[in-house]
C-alpha cells in the first residue's frame, strides 16, 4: 500500500487535545472507597496515542494547553522524555487546572472513572495558539473528539483543521466521546458530523458513530454511505470483543479480530489501538495488517495497570500478530 504520505515532513503525527493525569488505584479489584493509594500517570486520549506512537518509533508532536503547576510540568516532562515534541504545548496563565481521572477497577468488567474536568486547562486552548508553521511539518493531524466539547478549544481545533487542509496535512479523527464533557447530545452530533465530514480517516466505536449520527442502533452501512459522500477515505468502526472493521471509500471492507488477553481493565484500549493502527498506516502496511497491529496493541494495554506507561513496542505487537496468524 501507499497512502501518499508527504515523506519529507518532520513529524508523522501531531495530536491536538488534552493531556491529563490518571490516578490509578494501586489496590484494585475493590471499590475506590477502599483504595488507599493512587499511582500517577499521564493520560488523556490524544496524549496516550502520541505516547504509544512515539514508543513505536513514530516522530510525534502535541498541541495542547497544560496547567501552570506541578501536574502540568509533570505531563510536559514525561511527554518530552518519551520523545514527543512539546514545543507547542502552551502553559495556561489563568489558573486552570489539569484534568484528573481517578480509575476504579472493581473487576475486569467493572471499571469506572471519577473525572475532574471542571474548567480544565486543555479546554482553554485558543485559536490564536495554533501555529500554522508547526502544522506544515506533519503528515497527520490527530484530532480528539473531546477537544470539540467546549469553546475555545473547539475553535482551536477547527482552526487547526482549516490550516491542516490548507497545507495538505491528513486529518485523523478519533471520536473519543466522553458524555460528561458535552452540553448536549445535539451539540455533540453537530460538531462530530461537521468534523468527520472534513477528516481523511475516522476511528471510533459503533456507539460513538451513533452519537455522531444522532441515531440509536446505527448500522455501519449507513455510516459509510453517509461519510464517504464527504472527505473520508478510511473509516474504522470498533465493535469491542467482536472485533473491528476498516472500510475504504473504494468499497473494500476489512475485519480485525480481538486477540486473547489477560484483561485487568478496559481503559486505554482505544488509545493503544489507534496508535498502532496509525503506525501501520504510516508504514504503508495494508489495512488488514493495520487492524491486526491495532488489536494486538489493545490486547497488551488492557492486561496492564496504566494506559500510557503500558504502551507496547513494535516487537511486542508483532510477537502477538505472528503467534496468532
Which distant-in-sequence residues (6+ apart) come within 8 Å of 221 by Cβ? none
Cell numbers found for residue 80? 518530552
- Residue list 122-141, contact with its own copies (CB under 8 A): 126-128
Is 224:247 a contact under the CB 8 Å cutoff?
Answer: yes
d(CA 13, CA 109): 32
Please state the separation of Cα 75 from the chain's center in Å.
16
- Residue list 276-295, contact with its own copies (CB under 8 A): none
**Is residue 322 within the footprint of its own copies (CB under 8 A)?**
no
CA 302 vs CA 105, 111, 114, 139, 188: distances in Å: 12, 11, 19, 29, 28
Question: Which is closer to its own copies, CB of 35 or CB of 138?
Answer: 35
**Is residue 225 within the footprint of its own copies (CB under 8 A)?**
no
Among 88, 162, 248, 266, binds its own copies (CB under 8 A): 162
Among 36, 109, 179, 250, binds its own copies (CB under 8 A): 36
Among 1, 31, 230, 313, binds its own copies (CB under 8 A): 31
Among 73, 136, 249, 319, binds its own copies (CB under 8 A): 73
Question: Which is closer to its own copies, CB of 159 or CB of 292?
Answer: 159
Task: Of 234, 273, 280, 275, give the one whose Cα is nearest residue 257.
Answer: 273
Among 3, 5, 9, 74, binds its own copies (CB under 8 A): 74
Task: Of 48, 45, 180, 35, give the one whose Cα is nearest residue 103.
Answer: 35
Q: How many CB atoms lie within 10 A of CB 324?
A: 13
**Is residue 152 within the footprint of its own copies (CB under 8 A)?**
yes
Is 25:59 a contact under the CB 8 Å cutoff?
Answer: no
**Is residue 37 within the footprint of its own copies (CB under 8 A)?**
yes
Among 29, 151, 253, 313, binds its own copies (CB under 8 A): 151
d(CA 17, CA 146): 7
Sheet holding 138-144, edge to edge: 89-91, 60-66, 11-16, 138-144, 170-174, 201-205, 234-238, 244-248, 253-256
Cell numbers found for residue 267? 481503559
d(CA 63, CA 129): 9
Question: Which is closer to its own copies, CB of 8 or CB of 81?
Answer: 81
- Residue list 260-279, contact with its own copies (CB under 8 A): none
Phi/psi-derived region of residue 268, left when phi > 0, alpha when psi is between -120 and 50, beta in every other case: left
CB of 181 to its own copies, least distance (A): 13
Among 118, 133, 221, 315, binds its own copies (CB under 8 A): 118
CB of 54 to its own copies, least distance (A): 20
Which distant-in-sequence residues (6+ apart) come within 8 Å of 194 by Cβ? none
**Is residue 40 within the footprint of its own copies (CB under 8 A)?**
yes
Binding residues with its own copies: total (CB under 8 A): 42
**Is residue 88 within the footprint of its own copies (CB under 8 A)?**
no
Cell numbers found for residue 187? 451539540
**Is residue 184 within the footprint of its own copies (CB under 8 A)?**
yes
CB of 67 to its own copies, least distance (A): 9
Residues near its own copies (CB under 8 A) are 23, 26, 31-33, 35-40, 69-71, 73-74, 77, 97, 100, 102, 104, 114, 116, 118-119, 126-128, 151-152, 155, 158-159, 162, 183-184, 186-187, 190-191, 193-194
Amino acid at each position: 500500500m501507499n497512502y501518499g504520505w508527504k515523506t519529507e515532513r518532520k513529524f508523522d503525527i501531531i495530536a491536538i487535545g488534552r493531556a491529563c493525569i490518571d490516578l490509578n488505584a494501586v489496590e484494585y479489584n475493590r471499590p475506590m472507597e477502599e483504595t488507599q493509594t493512587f499511582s500517577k500517570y499521564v493520560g488523556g486520549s490524544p496524549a496516550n496515542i502520541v505516547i504509544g506512537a512515539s514508543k513505536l518509533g513514530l516522530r510525534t508532536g502535541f498541541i495542547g494547553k497544560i496547567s501552570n503547576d506541578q501536574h502540568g510540568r509533570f505531563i510536559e516532562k514525561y511527554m518530552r522524555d518519551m520523545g514527543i515534541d512539546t514545543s507547542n504545548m502552551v502553559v495556561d496563565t489563568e489558573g486552570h487546572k489539569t484534568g484528573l481521572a481517578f480509575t476504579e477497577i472493581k473487576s475486569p468488567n467493572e471499571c469506572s472513572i471519577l473525572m475532574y474536568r471542571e474548567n480544565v486547562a486543555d479546554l482553554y486552548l485558543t485559536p490564536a495558539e495554533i501555529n500554522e508553521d508547526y502544522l506544515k511539518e506533519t503528515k497527520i493531524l490527530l484530532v480528539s473528539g473531546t477537544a470539540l466539547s467546549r469553546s475555545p478549544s473547539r475553535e482551536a481545533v477547527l482552526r487547526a483543521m482549516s490550516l491542516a487542509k490548507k497545507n495538505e496535512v491528513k486529518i485523523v479523527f478519533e471520536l473519543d466521546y466522553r458524555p460528561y464533557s458535552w452540553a448536549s447530545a445535539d451539540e455533540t452530533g453537530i460538531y462530530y458530523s461537521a468534523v468527520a465530514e472534513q477528516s481523511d480517516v475516522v476511528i471510533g466505536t459503533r456507539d460513538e458513530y451513533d452519537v455522531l449520527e444522532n441515531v440509536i442502533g446505527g448500522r455501519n452501512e449507513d455510516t459509510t454511505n453517509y461519510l464517504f459522500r464527504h472527505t473520508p477515505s478510511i473509516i474504522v468502526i470498533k465493535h469491542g470483543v467482536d472485533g473491528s472493521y476498516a472500510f475504504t471509500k473504494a468499497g473494500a471492507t476489512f475485519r480485525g479480530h480481538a486477540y486473547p488477553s489477560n484483561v485487568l481493565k478496559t481503559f486505554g484500549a482505544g488509545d493503544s489501538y489507534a496508535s498502532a493502527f496509525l503506525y501501520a498506516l504510516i508504514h504503508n502496511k495494508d489495512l488488514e495488517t493495520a487492524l491486526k497491529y491495532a488489536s494486538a496493541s489493545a490486547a497488551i494495554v488492557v492486561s496492564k495497570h496504566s494506559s500510557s506507561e503500558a504502551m507496547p513496542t513494535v516487537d511486542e505487537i508483532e510477537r502477538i500478530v505472528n503467534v496468532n496468524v
